[in-house]
Structure 1
């Protein structure tokens, strides 16, 4: 976890260890500083630090926090049974966080280092019997964990039906139209953007919820349940590979074969 701390009148900084960095090194005890934000995402916390330094009028760091810690280009050794990481247990989570977004292939498919996956690995990893500076997890166990994250239980499906029942009762399906619903979706998206800029968690939840309601109704107006749309989208992305670039997942593009002429020669080759 990365902590964004504030020493009033002095500075705003980031650390993974408040006691060591703020108390032992700088001499400020609890109550003499405050934690403004925290996150496992080093990129988010780095941007937030600069933003708040500007907002409070403090000196801006020359280099962002995430630029001080270069990714280690961690190589994961995957066998049929296990995935082994080049780090001891006491340093494993830090290394995983510094390589967030990394994908690796196993016999159970492609895994990605997300926040939830990192937490699971850190809790379930074992020290390698061959090297104390390496740790591992079982691929099947990680696969089963990922499955439980994506399976929907009956409660949200019931909630979607409750939304449809409400919309039916209000006459949205009989008297409304998809164009109005789409405009409503854009309106809610604008409210979400504003909530994100203000970092207002309550408004973020409200805006996302409103967008889900609108999408549920829009799907129903086009003769399909939103559950079907979600399932269809997930089936497309579940085996997709790629990497994180500037905070966005960029999927791997398939290799396109160069067309050949009728006689089998490359079109750029001279006959």
Structure 2
């Protein structure tokens, strides 16, 4: 009986080496993925809009729009008195509660997004001889603090181009002397009625006093005569002409008046 022969050992070793070599090539793990080209879109890739640019754009979009500008020197209580519909404000700020010298600036906010903008002034002005009061009475020689509408104008001289209704009348003539001996003549050549204790929509010469005669009246913006007033606000004649040509009833103008300390509240 014959016994089968084993393959020679020399043939087995080469076959084993060949198998190991084929396994080491990685063919069994599939084809390696192709590398994405540099700059191709994808997670973490810098494409047409990088992550940094996207963050900058989102941050800019999140920034709030700037607040509309407020009138300098006015505090929250005073600002709250200005009607929402008012688009012009003539601000008269006194040096002190007991002083008769003031500074006047005209502001406008025709562009609501931009807010209040100074359009004229500052101008030198006078107010009542004894300063300011929050409870004006007849004969106290003080100007009433507060915010009042401006709806009517007039004067002894012809209309210089006023936008407010203008009443030319000889009764605006005045004479005599002021507190320091200065002549009053010409003081009412141009006036704008301040709607304190008066009826809006009528001539400044109207004498009706809704709060009663004891609370005074006839408080105007008028031509300055070089000294303090009985309670009015006065500015130089050329400034009065400019004011009359600028105050626009379509913009619901108001006057904001008082000593600077009070207006800052």
TM-score scaled by length of structure 1? 0.18
Bigger-Rg structure (1/2): 2
More helix by share: 1
Q: Which has the higher strand share?
A: 2
Higher relative contact order (CA 8 A, sep 6+): 2
